[in-house]
Amino acid sequence: MVPHFTGRRKEWKKIIGHVTFGSARIVSIWGSPGLGKTSVAIAVGHYLHLQGLSVYYLSLRGRQSTADLASKLLSLFRRPVASEQQNQQDPSIDPSIDDELSHLFSELLEPFTIILDNADVLLSEGPKAKEDFTHFLANILRRNEKLRFVIITRESLEFMNEQYQGHQGVRISPLDEPSSQNLANKLLPNLTVYDCKQVSIICGHVPLLIRVFCSIISKNNAEPSQVLDDFMWSLQDHNIVEMLDNPDDPSKLRALNMRRGDFTFTG
């Protein structure tokens, strides 16, 4: 389970409802960087796993096209990828790969969910990339009734609705005030009520920033007020959202970001 998972029960329940009881085949979790979209998705994955369902997680960082995604899915399900080099050069998907994926998925007898994180990597390439991505998912889903996708992005996937009707989006916003203070208190139980309130306000109720701020206090055994001064000074020439969203940023904000490699839950 995600450590100190706080203040997301409403969104968590909504996503669970879409995945397990609703008619949605694609559920997108979207919002600005640092708000805990991946944490929510992983919490959903753990819940589904505890219900005896299979859940597969895949980060799309480094994936250059929908064809690359198809190849990675084949690799995830332990099948060799034919003509992988050709697929990387050709933006279209080899029909044989599409067919093989559908065949592999059809062999799974129970419902299962695939979580695709960092989907913006593919979608940022323009309208054609978005169309290819939507068409690929819709085609796979049309041939495999037991499959659901949970997709994590910064931007809304509302554009999908033009090609595919089985999509529901859940937006992740900053934490409410009690939840952000509760997170600060869980991370640093010795903080006073006033300190927790100040930390949550300073960090804009953004979970990642709260974690960073509390980590700095803990590691340096510092006073919150001193950390506040240093923290605000270090950010004076930067945009926080851009820093969180920049994979090449060497700052503490990025270094403490929760990165996850490819892994699999299996029911």
Amino acid 259: pLDDT: 34
Q: Which residue has the tokens 């992983």?
A: 42
**Which tens digit of pLDDT belongs to each residue from 156-190?**
999 888 888 889 999 999 999 999 999 999 999 98
Amino acid 238: pLDDT: 57
Amino acid 91: pLDDT: 43
φ/ψ (deg, to 5) at 266? -130, 135
Amino acid 243: pLDDT: 57
Long-range CB contacts (< 8 A, 24+ apart) of 142-146?
143/102, 143/105, 143/106, 144/102, 144/105, 144/106, 146/105, 146/108, 146/109, 146/110, 146/111, 146/112
CATH 3.40.30.10 fits 9-173+259-265, yes or no: no
Amino acid 252: pLDDT: 43
Are residues 122 and 157 in contact, defined by beta-carbon separation less than 8 angstroms? Answer: no
The answer for residues whose C-beta is within 8 angstroms of residue 23's C-beta and 6 or more apart is 166
φ/ψ (deg, to 5) at 55? -135, 135
Mean pLDDT, residues 18-34 taken together: 91
Mean pLDDT, residues 134-154 taken together: 91
Q: What is the DSSP string of 139-166?
A: HHHHT-TTEEEEEEESS--GGGGGT-S-
Mean pLDDT, residues 206-216 taken together: 88
Please report which confidence band the pLDDT of residue 255 belongs to, taking 50, 70 and 90 as the band edges: very low
The answer for residues whose C-beta is within 8 angstroms of residue 226's C-beta and 6 or more apart is none
Average per-residue pLDDT for the chain: 80
